[in-house]
Amino acid sequence: MAPEAAPFQRAKRGGNPHGRAIISAAHLADRLPVIASDLGTGVEQLGGMIAAAATIVPFTGAGISTECGIPDFRSPGGLWTRNRPIPFDEFVASTDARNESWRRRFAMEPTFATARPGRGHLALASLYRAGKIPAIVTQNIDNLHQASGFSAEHVVELHGNTTYARCIGCGQAYDLPWVRRRFEATGGAPDCTVCDEPVKTATISFGQAMPEDAMRRATELAQQCDLFLAIGSSLVVWPAAGFPLMAKNRGARLVIINNEATEQDDIADLVIRNDIGEALGPFVGN
Ligand SMILES: [Zn+2]
C-alpha cells in the first residue's frame, strides 16, 4: 500500500480502496454477535485468543493513554477543538507560528513529563516480554510504550513522538531541555546548529507526509500477525484505520477494545466496549 500523502483524513464509509468492499461476503456470513456481553466474558474470550495466537500485533490510539493523564486531543472539548493545530507549512513559513507551537508544547510538558504507563501499556509490555508481540504500532506521540518496556526499535510511531525534537531539514535530534534553553535565551524557536533549518517536535503535523518507513513496517506487521488488537482508537483516521482491515484480509483475528463504537466493529471477531485499563489489566504480568 502506498502511504497517503496527508495524515488525519477521515475515512469515507465504503469509499476507500482498503475498505469494506474487499472483505468477502463469506467472512461476514453466519457470524455470531461479537460484542462481548460483559467485561468478564470479553476478558475471558480475549485470553483464549491470546493463548492461541503465535504473533500478536497491537495498534494503539489515544484511549490507551487517557488513564495516564494524556488528553485525547481530537475528542470533543479536547485541546485541538480549543487550539487550532498549526499546519506544517505554516510552521515552516512563520516565525510566529514556530514560537507559538513551542509555547504550547512547553505548556504541555508537565503533563507529558509526569505521565506513566497505564494498565494497557503494561499488559502489552508483558506480552512483548513473553515473545508474543514482535512490535507495536501506535498513533500516540507520548512515548509511553517505550516507558512500559518496549525497545524503541519495536515501537512503530505513525504520528511521531513529542518527547524529543528534530531538525526538519537534516533530521538532527535534540532533547527538549536544549530547545527550551535556546528558546529562553533567544526569545524564540531555535534553528538547527548543523544546517540552520527549524527544529520541531518529532511529531507528524497536519499537512506533513506520513513517515514512509513507519507506514511500511506497520503494513508488514498487520499482514504477518495472526491476532490484531486495535486498542483505544475510533479507527476513523486514514491511513491508520486501514491496518485492522489489512490484518483481517490476511486471515488474522481482529479484536477491538474501545469504550465507544468504532468504524470497524462489524468486521471484528471480538469487540470489548469497555475501559481499556479494565479490559487489559488482567493481562499485566502474564
Ligand atoms: Zn539540521
pLDDT tens, N- to C-terminus, the chain (286 residues): 333 334 444 444 433 444 444 444 445 545 555 899 999 999 999 999 999 999 999 999 999 999 999 988 666 555 555 678 899 999 999 999 999 999 999 999 999 999 999 999 999 999 999 999 999 999 999 999 999 999 999 999 999 999 999 999 999 999 999 999 999 999 999 999 999 999 999 999 999 988 999 999 999 999 999 999 999 999 987 777 899 999 999 999 999 999 999 989 999 999 999 999 999 999 999 5
Find out whether 233 and 258 touch, Cβ atoms under 8 Å.
yes
CA gyration radius, the chain: 19
The cell 470479553 sits on which residue?
42
Question: What's the whole-model pTM score?
Answer: 0.87
Say how many Å lie between the CA of residue 97 and the centre of ligand 1.
19
Give the span between the Cα atoms of 123 and 283, in whole angstroms. 5
Domain ranges of the chain: 1-70+116-159+210-286, 76-114+160-203
Query: Ligand 1 centre from 186 Cα, in Å?
Result: 18
CATH superfamily entry for domain 1-70+116-159+210-286:
TPP-binding domain (3.40.50.1220)
> Is 27 an active-site residue?
no
Q: Are 262 and 230 in contact, with CB atoms under 8 Å apart?
A: yes
Residue 190 CA to ligand 1 centre (angstroms):
11
| Rounded distance between C-alpha atoms, residue 204 and residue 206, angstroms | 7
Give dist(CA 221, CA 72) in Å, integer: 25
- Return the C-alpha cell found at 3: 502511504
- 1-70+116-159+210-286 shares its CATH topology with 76-114+160-203: no
Quick check: 14 and 20 in contact, CB under 8 A? yes
Q: What is the pLDDT of residues 150-194, one digit of tens each?
A: 999 999 999 999 999 999 999 999 999 999 999 999 999 999 999
CA neighbor of 272 nearest in space, from 264, 285, 260:
260
Q: Which of 56, 48, 59 is nearest to 226 (CA)?
A: 56
Domain covering 76-114+160-203 in this structure, CATH number: 3.30.1600.10
CA triplet 285, 156, 244: central angle to 5 degrees?
Answer: 85
How many angstroms separate the alpha carbon of residue 46 from the centre of ligand 1? 46
Give the other-Cβ count within 10 Å of 166's Cβ.
Answer: 18
* Residue 171 alpha carbon to ligand 1 centre in Å: 6
Cα separation of the two ends of the chain = 35
Q: Which of 27, 121, 154, 159 is catalytic?
A: 159
